[in-house]
Structure 1
């Protein structure tokens, strides 16, 4: 039995392990003693480490921030980086998000693509190499983080505070095939303003910087909101995603329904926050904070996803256009906060983007607070790591025309030197990461196992 056949022989075990991993709701929560990101991420990390230990690998948990699973030895180390945490599930699922249900050949669940399914597959690829008795001249180390989706505190702890060594060559299965040689820079900012006399208005929308808002809400008194309600029917005409209205305790509640997508590709979604603001602006509403917020969106945001009206629609040949996503909004007790996620091209200076946002926000008296970000990643196309992984992908899939790609997503490849994203989405797989009814087609697992077993072995031998 060759390596690829050996890897495929574990397919049923892979399916079962993915289902079990999905059943752990590993969304970040308030820290608990010994659990810096809450109960769920710690449980998910423990599950992966116990699974690795059951395969005969050496494992270690680093304070429930991160862990690693080791196989083999050598002067050099091959790293496989991934995460066990997930984004919040959101609403509208037709399958329970934390059940791992199988229907029509698909496993449904939050994290099945991002990143539990791919990491389970890589772990069984390691097992296939081990059980085949193949000799490797390098150590293989799977590094698991518990806080990738909301801050990377896991990697800061593992590589920063603990000063763990960087592997010599690494990949992370947290993007698409074939090989991601460039990742745009990421910045997350919050635009803030304090208003007076807006206590009778509430706005709420979105649940994460890095997701297109699927729901947004406006609550306003019936008298003040009449002009908006009068405009709903004409606004909703010929649109796929509707804004609904209900009356409750003398107030009008407007609910904007969008379509979620990853913030790296906001053009794949429909932003409920932007749509709600468009309704307010087009309705002719006048008065105070709500009017000003509506004007800000109509002039500076619109329904765009490239930042053009903010004057930051940068673009380059390697990584394409800048993307801008309004991830969250809140107006409550006179305090406005707008959470913005930007992915900027690899050759663009971060300060040029920040200056553009700050200039436009200041025109409306808003202050800008930088809350997070990552520098761009660029590994040359002719680098040994890129070339080796490209060769494996082509050999297994027969896709000889494939070329390395650039993305707007942010993966662990940025955390260390000589690391790229490698998979896991194949060309004919739907990208529903961060969306409702996230699913993995069971038929794709065979190809995943073949690719990852060959890739890990080729890098490690």
Structure 2
């Protein structure tokens, strides 16, 4: 039995382990003693480490921030970086998001693609190499974080506070195949403004910077909201995602429906926040903060995803155009916050983006705060790591025309030197990460196992 056949022999175990991992709701919550990201991420990290230990690997938990699973020895280390936390599930699932149900040849659940499924597969790839008795000259280390989706505090703790060594070469299975050689810069920005007369209005939308808002809500008095109510039917005409209306205790609640997508590809979704503001603006609503907020959106945001009206629609040859996503909005107790997630091209200076945002926000008296971000990543196409992984991908899939790609997503490849994203999405897989009914086609696991087993072995031997 060759190495790839050995890996595929574990397929049923891979399926079972993915289901078990998905059943742990590992969305970040309020910290608990010894659990910096809450109960779920800590339990998911424990699950992975126990699974690795059961395979005969050495494991270590670093304060429930991160953990690693080691196999082999050598002066150099090959790293596999991934995360056990997931984004919130959202609404509208046809299968329970944390059950790992199988239907129509697919495993459904939050995290089957991002990133529990790929990391389980890589762990069984390590097991295949170990059980085959093949000699490797380098240590193989799987590094697991518990906070990738909401801050990277896991990597800051592991590589920063604890000063753990960087592997010499690494990959993360948290993007698409073949090899991601460039990742856009990431910037998370909040625009803020305080009002004195908005207590009778509430706006709420979105649940994360890095997801296109699927729901947005406006609560307003019946008298004030009548003009919007009268316009709803016209706005909804011929639209797939409509606004709904509910009357409650003398108020009208407008619910805007959208389609979630990852913030790196906002064009794949439909932003409920932007749609709500478009409706308010087009209705002719006048008066107070709501008119101003709607005007800001109609002039500076629109339904765009490239930031053109904010004067930040930069573009370059290697990584394409900038993307701008409105992830969240809140107007409560006279305080407005609008949360942006921006992915900017690898050759563009961050300050150029900030200047455009600040200039346009200031026209509406809004203050800007940068609350997070990551610098761009760029590994040359002719780098040994890129070339080796490309060769493995081509050999296994037969896709000889494939070329390295650039993405807007932010992966752990940015956390350390000499790391790239490698898979896990194949070219014929639907990208439904961060969306409802996230699923993994069971038939793809064979290819995943072949690719990752060969890649790990070739890098480590």
TM-score band by shorter chain is: over 0.9
Distance 2:224 2:451 in 1: 59
State the distance in 2 between where 1:28 and 1:373 align: 18
2:209 paired residue number: 209
Is 2:130 the partner of 1:130?
yes
Map 1:364-375 to 2 at 5 A. 364-375=364-375
Where do residues 425-440 of structure 1 align in structure 2 (5 Å cutoff)? 425-440=425-440
In 2, the alpha carbon distance for the partners of 1:394 and 1:233 equals 52
Q: Does residue 1:182 correspond to 2:182, yes or no?
A: yes
RMSD of equivalent CA atoms: 0.3
The structural deviation recorded for 1:238 is 1.1
SS in 1 for 2:69: strand
Match of 2:337?
Answer: 337
Partner of 1:298: 298
Pairs within 5 Å for 1:31-430: 31-430=31-430
Q: Structure 1, residues 370-415: CA drift from partner, whole Å, max 9, x if none?
A: 1000000000000000000000000000000000000000000000
| Paired residue secondary structure (1:28) | coil
Q: TM-score, normalised by structure 1?
A: 1.00
Structure 1 position 190, deviation (Å): 0.4
- What residue is the counterpart of 1:446 in the other structure? 446
Distance, in Å, in 2 between the alignment partners of 1:198 and 1:312 is 30
Give the 3-state SS of the residue equivalent to 2:260 in structure 1: coil
State the SS of the aligned residue for 2:124.
helix
Distance 1:48 1:223 in 2: 55
Query: How far has the Cα of 1:266 moved from its partner?
Result: 0.1
Give the Cα separation in 1 of the matches to 2:33 and 2:196: 40
Distance between the aligned counterparts of 1:356 and 1:38, measured in 2? 37
Distance 2:244 2:54 in 1: 52
| CA offsets 1:199-251 (integer angstroms, 9 cap, x no match) | 00000000000000000000000000000001001101111100011111110
What is the alpha-carbon distance in structure 2 between the residues aligned to residue 126 and residue 208 of structure 1?
33
Give me the whole-angstrom Cα distance separating, in 1, the residues matched to 2:113 and 2:191.
32
Provide the rounded CA distance (Å) in 2 between the counterparts of 1:203 and 1:118.
37
Q: Partner of 1:31: helix, strand, or coil?
A: coil
Name the SS of the counterpart of 2:155 in structure 1: helix
Shift, 1:114, TM fit: 0.1
Distance 2:235 2:42 in 1: 45
- Deviation digits for residues 303-349 of structure 1 (CA, Å, limit 9, x no counterpart): 00000000000000000000000000000000000000000000000
Which structure 1 segments of 5+ residues have no match? none
Structure 1 runs (4+) greater than 6 angstroms displaced: none
Quote the Cα distance in structure 2 between the aligned partners of 1:446 and 1:216: 40
Q: Structure 2-normalised TM-score?
A: 1.00
How many residue pairs match? The answer is 461
SS at structure 1 position matched to 2:458: helix
